[in-house]
Chains A and B, each alone.
Chain A
Amino acid sequence: MAIISAQKTPARPAPLSDTTVIGWLRINLFSSWINVILTVVSLYIIFVAVKGIWVWGIQDAVWSAETRRECFKISKDGACWAGVLNWMDSIFYGRYPREELWRINIGGLLLVLWMAPLWLPRVKGKVFIGLTTVFLYPFLAGYFFSGGEKGIFMQIMISAAIVCLAANTLHSALGVFANSSLSEFLIRVTGTGKASEKTQRNMLIGLLALALVAVFLWQMSWHLESVTWTKWGGLFLTLVISGIGIASALPGGIILALGRRSKLPVIKVISTTFIELFRSVPLITVLFMATTMFPLFMPDGFVLNKLVQVIIAVCLFNACYMAEVVRAGLQAIPKGQAEGAHTIGLGYWGTMGLIIMPQALKVMIPNIVGSFIGILKDTTLVSIIGLFDILGMLRAISEDVFWRGLHHEPLLFGAGLFFIICFVMSKYSRHLEAKLSTDHKD
């Protein structure tokens, strides 16, 4: 029997529950008597908890006082935020000399200035900007943070960093406002537009050398007071250690993961051993090994400071964890992709760099950011081996003569700070995923 539809079925509006708040409430919270009771009880519990936090943390809290005793006098049951506020500088900067704090702030600002172009849509050459951030910025920041005498190598690197930063910034500004690149701009300004490509290149190299020499002479006059690492602390120290850990984890992880998948037995065995060794030991053990055992194996007179040892340990440890994340990502890419790349003549590095890695990294973003967040939080372990990172400083408040016994408020503040940083990272990773998605599955 044939069935023939006489007319087109017109579209009707969706059921109320899908479009209005009241419909949603009725279906999800008040659909039966049991659900109504559960909803009411839950609301009451939430109300009590929020009210308690509100009264303790805000309504009865003390915001300004000189000592904890004073806090108690003003309000017995409220939070004593005054202690946290008094220690704010220490929480952020540790025992860094107060009159030198601007150096840390400048260092942070320079990083923002350096990396900002990476988020601007019309700027070209982002890979170069990213690479210089990793390889040149640390020298500049390192000098700002520690100061003191600088060797000739350090001076060259600082000059290179400054020239690079200036070039990056100018290039980005030109890209955003004039939609051109720095080299095009310089060629136009110097009027060599009609000259041969070789002349243009020579002119650019000449300008670069000139800038380097000028900056080199300029920076020779800089004298920054030396601040030893023992005075570094607080959130600043946490960010230094975890920042270096994060920046090195991904490249290190990629190298180790490729090593582990290598067809050359020696490289494969070395990478696998390295990864498994570090992964089977807790971070705190690695940190103790690095600070107490490692110096024993070193030749006499070879002394690395504790901070450098800790940073190396954190880097190696996280590179090994990242290696497994990267390996998982590599395995998620079908074998056909490599074969497709081979058939258009790409070799190992071309295949990895252009075809496999870009896809694998995209798949791995949630895991990579998860690891980054882990690195940031794990860094607080260094407070156990005697570095005054943010956790160390938060606990030091309770040992201060004026604020003895003040535990809860500083730790809560620290928790809030960590939550904000980690939540932003995680949100950004979701945004990146959506932005980079090209698979069009939906």
Chain B
Amino acid sequence: MTSTEKQDTAKGQGKLASAASSEVMIQLTKVNKWYGDFHVLKDIDLTVHKGERIVVCGPSGSGKSTLIRCINHLEEHQEGLIVVDGITLDKNLKNIDHIRTEVGMVFQSFNLFPHLTILENLTLGPIWTRKMPKTEAQAIAMKYLERVKIPEQADKFPGQLSGGQQQRVAIARSLCMSPKIMLFDEPTSALDPEMIKEVLDVMVELADTGMTMIVVTHEMGFAKTIADRVIFMDEGDIVEENEPNAFFNNPQHERTKLFLSQIL
């Protein structure tokens, strides 16, 4: 699928109405992070409201993945303040575990558990961290598998599924924890072109339900469809932040213009 075609799909689906409210879900204040001497995140300030859908883009190495990985503490930030759902991320392991149950995450490489069946992948979190009875967890899992349109794969192992199906299972796995926030780290970058659409469709449906979402992606058509705000990052800075129409049609910053001209 070429980028023009993608834009067409986006237009066809039309712009989703924003579900954003005034309640603050994620608040980043002056966040800094270094890998050794390399300064990955530089004084990042970001506020995400409940129901808001944010797309983060930027060249590789710009710190966009690191940014969202800091939000559920897969990466540790050295300076600044991150508050998620009213809880401050610090060294307190209990807070971290709690935040992780509220924040779902989907990875580029799926990270399904290959030794468990699809159903077991989905019920593991609810059973072990939410202490849910097995039958109830399975019912919820089947509900979400139906929502991502692969209930018939429940008893297979991840290795038997296509990439697109695996990624949809990964989304369902996160949803089974009934998270308040979903983070997506380049969810379609490892997929074949014909599978990208099936995953994006599921994500658009999810956006429709009013989920707070932060999506790192290069799918600009998708960004136009769902985003309330698009953030462009480069070399650890948030260079430009705008609502999608203005962002794509009238980029302000030189680096944004250069980036958009390269990928569109």
B156 to chain A, nearest CB (A): 9
Question: Which residues of chain B from 98 to 151 have a CB within 8 Å of any chain A CB?
Answer: 100-101, 103-105, 107, 109, 111-115, 124-125, 128-130
Contact between chains at A337 and B100 (CB < 8 Å): no
Given A343-B100, A345-B97, also A438-B177 (CB < 8 A): no
A342 contacts chain B at the CB level, 8 A cutoff: yes
B87 to chain A, nearest CB (A): 14
Q: Contacts A337-B113, A438-B114, A438-B157 given; 8 further ones with Cβ under 8 A? A: A334-B109, A339-B111, A341-B113, A343-B74, A345-B128, A345-B177, A439-B157, A440-B160
Which 10 A-B pairs give the minimum distances between C-beta atoms?
A344-B125, A340-B111, A345-B129, A345-B101, A440-B159, A336-B111, A343-B105, A438-B157, A345-B100, A439-B159
Contact between chains at B104 and A343 (CB < 8 Å): yes
A359 contacts chain B at the CB level, 8 A cutoff: yes
* A359 neighbours in B (Cβ, 8 Å): 113-115
Contact between chains at B124 and A342 (CB < 8 Å): no
Contact between chains at B72 and A440 (CB < 8 Å): no
**Chain B residue nearest to A339 in the complex (CB):** B74
Q: Give the segment of A17-25, A148-156, A172-180, A347-355 that binds chain B.
A: A347-355
* A347 neighbours in B (Cβ, 8 Å): 93, 97
In the bound complex, how far is the Cα of B112 from the Cα of A336, in angstroms?
9
Contact between chains at B124 and A343 (CB < 8 Å): no
Given A344-B174, A344-B177, also A441-B159 (CB < 8 A): yes
Question: Which residues of chain A from 336 to 395 have a CB within 8 Å of any chain B CB?
Answer: 336-337, 339-347, 350, 354-355, 358-359, 362
**Chain A residue nearest to B74 in the complex (CB):** A339
A interface SS class:
helix
Kindly state the interface size class of chain A when it binds its partner. Answer: 20 to 34
A255 to chain B, nearest CB (A): 21
B173 contacts chain A at the CB level, 8 A cutoff: yes
Given A336-B109, A440-B160, A441-B159, also A342-B114 (CB < 8 A): no
B109 to chain A, nearest CB (A): 5
In the bound complex, how far is the Cα of B72 from the Cα of A359, in angstroms?
25
A-B residue pairs in contact (CB < 8 Å), sample of 27 = A334-B111, A336-B109, A336-B111, A337-B113, A339-B105, A339-B111, A340-B111, A340-B113, A342-B100, A343-B100, A344-B100, A344-B101, A344-B125, A344-B173, A344-B176, A344-B177, A345-B128, A345-B129, A346-B128, A347-B97, A350-B129, A355-B113, A359-B114, A439-B114, A439-B157, A440-B160, A441-B159
**Chain A residue nearest to B161 in the complex (CB):** A440
B interface SS class:
mixed
**Chain B residue nearest to A337 in the complex (CB):** B111
* A441 neighbours in B (Cβ, 8 Å): 159
A127 to chain B, nearest CB (A): 15
* B177 neighbours in A (Cβ, 8 Å): 344-345
* A341 neighbours in B (Cβ, 8 Å): 113
Per-position binary interface string of chain B over residues 185-203, scored 1 when its CB falls under 8 Å from any chain A CB and 0 otherwise: 0000000000000000000
Contact between chains at A343 and B157 (CB < 8 Å): no
**Chain A residue nearest to B126 in the complex (CB):** A344
Contact between chains at B115 and A438 (CB < 8 Å): yes
**Chain A residue nearest to B117 in the complex (CB):** A438
Q: Which of B107, B125, B173 is the one whose CB lies under 8 Å from A336? A: B107
A183 to chain B, nearest CB (A): 17
* A337 neighbours in B (Cβ, 8 Å): 111, 113
* A362 neighbours in B (Cβ, 8 Å): 115
